[in-house]
Amino acid sequence: MIIYLAGAIRDGRLDDIEWREKVISSLASLVTIINPLGGKHFDAKNSTWTLCGRRVTAQSLVKYDFSAVNRADIVLANLTSLSERYPSIGTLIELGAAAAQGKLIYLILDNKYAGHENAMFTHHPFLQEIAADIFESVDEAIEFLKKYVPVMSGIKPRYGEFYAG
């Protein structure tokens, strides 16, 4: 199985890197993980991106990320930036592409996210519709995936088997 780690990539924000590294450390023995930050580097001084040491354009970065979404079986999207009023437009577009392809989508939306002001929904209806499940933290998503991935991949196909460890 392949998991793509979608989420905000903001200059100077270590938490955008750290959550991905935590998922990689926790799940890499069970699945292949595609990290959109893998091989990328942002040179703030020159405002340029490189991919594996080669300078790239915005268009090539988008193609790189869409290719990764296409390869994934599961898209794990960290949308905690929404509670900070950062729209993470690229992540939302990736989620649209993943949903259109019928990918299994899991979302991380912290409890600080209240949706739209005066909204009738806890989460935006589109997010609720495309998500197989919504977790309040990275840790909660990791604990679920540690149990679920062996079931989905066929390693532990029997009823109740994943509870035994």
Tokens of 150: 């062996």
H or E stretch including 77?
strand 74-78
Please report the pLDDT score of residue 80 as a whole number: 92
pLDDT on residue 24: 97
pLDDT tens-digit map of 37-79: 998 888 888 888 888 889 988 898 899 999 999 999 999 999 9
Residue 81: other Cβ atoms inside 10 A:
20
pLDDT band, very low/low/confident/very high, at 124 (cuts 50, 70, 90): confident
Most confident of 8-12, 18-22, 159-163: 18-22
Work out the pLDDT band at 149, boundaries 50, 70, 90. very high
**How many residues are present in the chain?**
165
Nearest alpha carbon to residue 78 among 12, 28, 145: 145
Whether this prediction's pTM lies above 0.85 is answered by yes
Which tokens hold the place of 125? 């209806």
Q: CA angle, 125 as apex, 122 and 129 as ends, to 5°?
A: 115
Residue 99 phi, psi (nearest 5): -65, -40
Q: What is the DSSP code (8-state) at residue 15?
A: H
pLDDT digits (tens, 9 = 90+) for 76-103: 999 999 888 888 999 999 999 999 999 9
- Evaluated on CA atoms 54, 60, 63, 65, the torsion sign reads positive
What is the percentage of the chain residues whose pLDDT exceeds 70?
90
Taking a C-beta distance cutoff of 8 angstroms, is the pair 75, 105 a contact? yes
